Every structure is written in C-alpha cells, then in structure tokens.
A and B are shown apart, each in its own frame.
Chain A
C-alpha cells in the first residue's frame, strides 16, 4: 500500500485515476481507518487530500457557503455564520460519533461512505446542497441527493473526488432542522433520520419546503408529497398529520436489529412533524 499526500487537486485526481486497482480517498479517516482494521481490507493506494489548499476551510461567499472536504464536523459548529444560516445541517453533522470522531469526521466523508443512515445527508438534501466533484477532466456540480446510489455505493467515477459541499445562501425566513431516533442518547447510528427545510412568507405561510428521510431506504429519500402537504399552510394540525402520513408512505426500510419496518415507518412520520415544527420556529414562524 502507498500513502500519498498531494498538494493539488489535479495531482490527487490523477493519482486516483491511475493504474492502481484499489484506491481510497482519506479525509477524516473515521470510516476508512476502521475498514483498514479488517483482515480482508486491501488497498493499493491511499490519497490524503488534506494538504490541498482550501480543503480545511469553510468559506462564506455571495452565493452561500463552501465547505472543504477536509473540514471536521466540529469546525462547522464553530462557524457562527454557518450555524445561523443552516442550523439543521450543523446539528445533523454534530450527531455523528463522539467528540473524538467530531474532531476528524467530515460531511463529505459521511456522504461518500454512502451509509443509508448517514446523519448529515438528509439535512444536506433538505438544504439543497450541491457536491463539487473534481475529476481528471475538470469539476462538475452534482446535487447531493444524486451522489449515493445505494448502501456503500456512489455515482462518483474512478478518479473523482468531492472537493467541497456548496450550501446556498438561505432565503429570508428560512429554517431547517434534523432529528433522528436512536435507542440511546449518544454514539449511535440513526434508526430513522428526518430533515425539514422551510421558507415562510411575511405572514408565516410556508412557501417552500424540502423534506428528506434517512435510514428508511437504500439511500436518502426526498419526499415531494411531504413538501406539497405543508406548502401554503402554517403547519396546522391537519397539515402536520398529512406531512406525517406522506413521510411514512415514502419509507421503504429494512427490518434489522435496530428497528423493524413498522417501527421505522411510524417514527419517520413522528419525527417529520417535530422537525417541521422546529424548522418553522427557526424560520421565524409563530
């Protein structure tokens, strides 16, 4: 196995696009190094991207935020402008692992690991985040929802690296929230995760909504019917009930030791209602 730490993205993509059969990108390492402990793990090449300029920074631009692929989750929480703009994204990223993991783990890694239960991914999808993908022939922007294709699988081609996540500047009166269910208070994997992003008009009516579910299907689910259910409302009880039902209806979960199909389906609806109420309050709704 070779370890390389290139200082340009061009060099990094060229290394990954090269001959080696099994190559991995190293950012925070909190998934990769765990996999490396397995006896059957094989790698020819590990490309550490943290020496590349811009990887460790959150940059606020006219269009929003650029979060470099090497930014640890804890640094998102420390960025007050980002917390103010996208509190749901930050709270989702801060649910991943322990303090020690937070010091290393990245939202790009969470996305590329492609676990259906990734906490930050539904929040990024609800926020309308875009992945900036660098490859041997240049960069392309891909909606975050189009990156994972199934458990452990992504749409990235050989040689491609997500170099940053782009979060838009939120419109006025916008709020987002993420909630997950786990059977303990910390250090666990989502049984269900729900992210809601709402924009209100001046009288508190929802004018735009995005609702995303995690851990209830092979990949993150954007629930258009749930968004339609809340647009034009002020989250009255009957609307919240419709939101719950449309989220439950969108679930295609598995049964496993962490939750049954019936449990996950019901909890998705419950969490959607609560996350919507938090997002509504954060957007300035009363």
Chain B
C-alpha cells in the first residue's frame, strides 16, 4: 500500500502526515501524532470515546479515515485548555466529579463543547440526547449532565 500525504489543521496548528489508506483519524492522532488524549473505546462508532470536532461538527474519529482529514480543521482534547487555563467544561467536570476512570472524559468534553457552541443554554433533556453517543460506565451520567449545565451557565455569565 502506498502512503497518502495529508495536510490538515489540528488544534490551530498546520499538521502534515503520511498515512495508509485504511488508517483511521483515531489511529493517526494516537499512533502517528502522539495525541493520546483521544481514546479508543469500541472502534465502531458506538461509544464516543474518540469524539473529535471536524470542521465544527463532533464526529467519531474511529469512523473517519486519516486520508479524509485532508484540508479539514480538527479539534482534539489537547486543544481545549488555553495553556494551563482549563476550559470551563474541564473545570466543571473536575468540580462535579463527573469522571472516575477517565477513558470517556475527552469524548464527553469534545461533544459537550460542540453542544454549547450550537446551544449555549441546553435543557437537561437536550444535553442527555446530545450526549447519547458517549458512553460512561462509571458515573451514571448525572454528574456529567450537571457539570455541562454548570459550565454552560458560567460561559453565559450566570455564575453565582
């Protein structure tokens, strides 16, 4: 198999890589670019652990070929904090203890970030439906939902 040259933007940086035609974006991020924050859960688009944002839409990076990233803009968990300053979602996940083992957390954070960009004031139901593609086997989801609601309020400037 011949390698494919791909030029893309990841977390505001121009990134070029070579990949095989059957490599997924998830493989590229983790194995070729050292961006290990994006996790592999099921590898078949069911669990959401590998959620990344591509051209503004949250996608499962296990269901995107690396070659498809040509010319696209990709955001991963590594680009979420601003230097050492955590994104409000990251901070609220910690404050609400919305994680235990942490494998699902980067995916939840990316999906929640995409939600708040299209809907800054989601209802609990909207949050639960939006995050239905992210599975967590530790928390029972309530803390995650509360963390997203609290972060949304802070971003809206309604923090007490």
Contact = CB atoms under 8 A, between A and B. Distances in A.
Interface of A: 1-3, 5, 26, 29-30, 33-34, 36-37, 46, 48, 50, 72, 74, 97-101, 103-104, 185-187
Residue picked from B60, B131, B134, most chain A C-beta under 10 Å: B60
B45 interface: yes
B1 interface: yes
Interface string B30-63: 0000000000000111101001001001111011
Interface stretch (B64-72, B77-85, B94-102): B64-72
A103 B58 contact: yes
A1 B22 contact: yes
A100 B21 contact: no
Given A29-B68, A104-B64, A99 B21 contact: no
B53 to A, nearest CB: 9
Nearest to A186: B132
A26 B59 contact: no
A34 B54 CA distance: 19
Residue with the highest number of chain B CB atoms closer than 10 Å, among A33, A34, A97, A104: A33
B48 A3 contact: no
Contacts of A99: 58, 111, 114-115, 130-133
B57 A72 contact: yes
Contacts of B63: 29-30, 33-34, 100-101, 104
Contact of B21 (A3, A37, A72, A98): A3
Nearest to A184: B132
B60 A101 contact: yes
Contacts of B105: none
Nearest to A48: B68
A104 B67 contact: no
B18 interface: no
Contact of A97 (B1, B62, B115, B133): B133
B149 interface: no
Contacts of A2: 1, 21
Contacts of A5: 67, 70
Contacts of B48: 98, 100
B147 to A, nearest CB: 17
B4 interface: yes
Contact of B43 (A37, A46, A48, A101): A37
Given A3-B21, A101-B45, A187-B133, A29 B58 contact: no
Interface in B106-134: 111, 114-115, 129-134
Given A5-B70, A37-B44, A100-B48, A26 B57 contact: no
Contact of B59 (A1, A46, A100): A100
A50 B68 contact: yes
Given A33-B64, A101-B60, 20 more contacts: A1-B21, A2-B21, A26-B68, A29-B63, A29-B64, A29-B65, A29-B68, A30-B63, A33-B45, A34-B45, A34-B63, A46-B21, A48-B67, A48-B68, A74-B57, A98-B45, A98-B48, A99-B133, A100-B59, A103-B54
Contact of A100 (B1, B4, B24, B60): B60
A36 B22 contact: yes
A33 B132 contact: no
Contacts of A30: 45, 63
A191 to B, nearest CB: 18
7 contacts: A1-B22, A29-B68, A33-B62, A33-B63, A46-B65, A99-B58, A101-B63
A247 B20 CA distance: 49
A187 B45 contact: no
B142 to A, nearest CB: 16
